[in-house]
Amino acid sequence: MALLTFSYVVGKPVEFVILLTFIAGCVELAMGLFNLGFLVDFISPCVTNGFTSATSIIIISSQLKSFLGVSIKSHGTFGTWKELLGKVTEIKFADTLLGTLCVMSLLGFKQLNQVQAKTKTSKKTLWLLSISKNAIVVLLCSVISYIWYSIAGGTPFKLTGVVPSGLPSISFPPLYATVNNQTVNVLEMVKDLGSGMILIPVVAVLANVAIAKAYSSDTVVDASQEMISLGMANICGSFVKAMPSCGAFTRSSVASSSGVVTPLQGFYSGSVIILALSFLAPYFFYIPKATLAAVLIVAASSLIDYNILKILWRCNKIDFFITFLTFLVGVLIGVEMSIVVGAIFNALVLLKRWSRPEILVETRSTNQKWNYIYIRPELGLFYPAADYVTETVKKVHNRNPEAAIILDCSQILQIDYSTAKSIEMLAKTYKEKKIDFALLNLNAKALKRLNSVMDTKNLALCDNIDNIYNTILNIQITNSPDEIPLLRIEADSSSDKKTVI
């Protein structure tokens, strides 16, 4: 989110950042109040998995410089690795050793929860040590650093350094700014921010929901609620000069690995941060950078699903492609953009399925050699697929021009205007050609909408395939009683040919 925000405010005064935070919060809040949470349902588990794995790789890569004690200026995963390989000779032994020991300690503490304890007290003790591993390791290393620094006047490994203390003043978001010695008003500022006012809140919401889904297990994520809370957070943040914010996998992974299971963690963390900035900031000086890097690396590595691509390849290659693409975009461009790209491709796949549904086609005949073509769309029928289904019906019927046409509507829960007009056109076309045409299993709701477009009195409607012949015969007798012989033939469901289009 920081990099995305930077791309819209680079070269501009800080007032632009604060105003962008306020506007982003308002957009997010409005999205939540209008219950637009359903939009993020387009983030499938495939996108979430790709996003999560990419974020983990980025976090691990970004922490290697602190873990190895190397100074790196490059941004991005590949830039970091490239510069790191060029500075192999500058790797600090003390930082690397401390980081390695911290990783081993964290992994060891993590396994304590799996130890079979003999008593209830021992089990609780091991559980407490397991979930407190991050705090224990950071606190222990900080104490060691403090003692070492006090005795020797320094440490062989890099420390966090000075952290500014104090809280920002509360003020209303700025309505003007000074750019190149000229004052610009809020309208000009909004114009300069451009698409960032929409893209940043959308990406923030997508990131929040993706993180929530990654850690929610079996709990359903209320996206509208996420939008409201995120919007309020950014609106309030703009009053204390904050930049646009959203959930972060870094913090979330650390919280999860520490055993956090309720939203109360947010209140607790916020309170601790306020107290720390007010009173404890000087003591953060002694936290080793390698220790913090080790905590983040262990937390992030647990998020990578190493088997998902193998499973998706066997299950659904389209899902495999979406997951891999999301991961690739996340690593190469950024995790925010990876969510957008993944969601777009998910939506395209859904649109493809709705516009080109599978259609079951069977050529059937009764014992009396009455032939008909049985057609059933397998995934509903809305306007994107209306023309496709119509053309499919015509194409199939051209192969057997004397057969009747039975359109099974059992999978069509409701229809729109375009679908109703397509059915009307088919009925009219085949009536003129004196070809029997009937609808099977059309529900009451869909029939009501069809009635609003066309007169269905002379349309053969049937809810049982065994009675379809008699239904068509009755329609023919009603329309032309002098031309239709009074016959009663029960249709069977024998199928001569079956295809899926």
Per-residue pLDDT of 232-242, as tens digits, reads 999 999 999 99
With a pLDDT cut of 70, the percent of the chain lying above it is 88
Point out which residues pair with 377 in neighbouring strands. 359
Split at pLDDT 50, 70, 90, the class of 265 is: confident
Domain check: are 411 and 430 in the same one?
Answer: yes
Q: Which residue has the higher pLDDT, 96 or 40?
A: 96
DSSP assignment string, 220-241: PP-HHHHHHHHHHHHHHHHTTT
Domain check: are 367 and 402 in the same one?
Answer: yes
Q: Environment class of residue 413 by beta-carbon count within 10 Å: exposed (0-12), middle (13-18) or buried (19+)? A: exposed
Mean pLDDT in residue range 421-444: 87
Mean pLDDT in residue range 222-235: 90
What CATH number did the domain enclosing 479 receive?
Answer: 3.30.750.24
Q: Do residues 294 and 137 touch, judged by C-beta distance below 8 A?
A: yes
Alpha helices by DSSP H, listed for 160-248, are 186-193, 196-215, 223-238
Three-state DSSP state, 212? helix
pLDDT at 154 over 50: yes
Indicate the average pLDDT of the chain. 83
Last residue of a domain, one of 335, 351, 367: 351
Per-residue model confidence (pLDDT) at position 67: 92
pLDDT at 483 over 60: no
Distance CA 475, CA 239 (A): 72
pLDDT at 436 over 90: no
Per-residue model confidence (pLDDT) at position 366: 66
Per-residue model confidence (pLDDT) at position 220: 74
Tokens of 111: 């396994």
Split at pLDDT 50, 70, 90, the class of 36 is: confident
pLDDT in tens, 184-210: 898 998 888 887 888 788 878 877 887
Listed range (249-258, 385-394, 480-489) with the worst mean pLDDT: 480-489
Q: Environment class of residue 55 by beta-carbon count within 10 Å: exposed (0-12), middle (13-18) or buried (19+)? A: buried
Per-residue model confidence (pLDDT) at position 29: 94
Per-residue model confidence (pLDDT) at position 294: 93
Domain check: are 345 and 390 in the same one?
Answer: no
Domain check: are 369 and 344 in the same one?
Answer: no
Distance CA 119, CA 379 (A): 56
Per-residue model confidence (pLDDT) at position 22: 95
Distance CA 230, CA 209 (A): 11
pLDDT at 354 over 60: yes
Per-residue model confidence (pLDDT) at position 491: 41
Q: Do residues 405 and 393 touch, judged by C-beta distance below 8 A?
A: yes
Mean pLDDT in residue range 139-149: 93
Split at pLDDT 50, 70, 90, the class of 7 is: low
Domain total in the chain: 2
pLDDT at 463 over 60: yes
Point out which residues pair with 360 in neighbouring strands. 376, 500
With a pLDDT cut of 90, the percent of the chain lying above it is 17
Point out which residues pair with 362 in neighbouring strands. 374, 498
Mean pLDDT in residue range 423-441: 87
Domain span holding position 179: 2-351
Listed range (42-51, 186-195, 213-222, 287-296) with the worst mean pLDDT: 213-222
Three-state DSSP state, 438? strand
Distance CA 287, CA 121 (A): 32
Domain check: are 55 and 86 in the same one?
Answer: yes
Per-residue model confidence (pLDDT) at position 367: 61
Split at pLDDT 50, 70, 90, the class of 484 is: very low
Three-state DSSP state, 92? coil
Domain check: are 139 and 258 in the same one?
Answer: yes
Tokens of 31: 């999205």
Closest Cα partner for 267 from 229, 216, 293?
229
| CA angle at 52 for the pair 51 and 54, rounded to the nearest 5° | 65
Domain check: are 344 and 396 in the same one?
Answer: no
Sheet holding 495-500, edge to edge: 460-462, 437-440, 404-408, 371-377, 359-365, 495-500
pLDDT at 274 over 80: yes
One-letter identity of residue 319? D
Listed range (80-89, 185-194, 244-253, 416-425) with the worst mean pLDDT: 244-253
Residues 6+ apart with CB under 8 A from 340: 202, 203, 206
Closest Cα partner for 46 from 331, 319, 341, 345?
319
Cα dist. 397→13, 245, 298, 450, 496 in Å?
68, 58, 63, 23, 15
Last residue of a domain, one of 318, 351, 384: 351
Point out which residues pair with 500 in neighbouring strands. 360
- Identify which of 92-106, 242-256, 403-417 has the greatest average pLDDT: 92-106
DSSP assignment string, 278-297: IIIGGGGGGSBHHHHHHHHH
pLDDT in tens, 64-81: 989 999 888 766 788 888
Closest Cα partner for 134 from 101, 110, 160?
110
Domain check: are 331 and 421 in the same one?
Answer: no
Q: Environment class of residue 230 by beta-carbon count within 10 Å: exposed (0-12), middle (13-18) or buried (19+)? A: buried
Domain check: are 39 and 115 in the same one?
Answer: yes
Last residue of a domain, one of 351, 373, 399: 351
Mean pLDDT in residue range 94-114: 90
Residues 6+ apart with CB under 8 A from 210: 43, 47, 48, 51, 52, 339
Domain check: are 158 and 252 in the same one?
Answer: yes
pLDDT in tens, 284-316: 889 999 999 999 898 888 778 778 888 889 888
Split at pLDDT 50, 70, 90, the class of 144 is: very high
Domain check: are 73 and 176 in the same one?
Answer: yes
Domain check: are 346 and 434 in the same one?
Answer: no
pLDDT at 318 over 80: yes
Q: Do residues 206 and 340 touch, judged by C-beta distance below 8 A?
A: yes
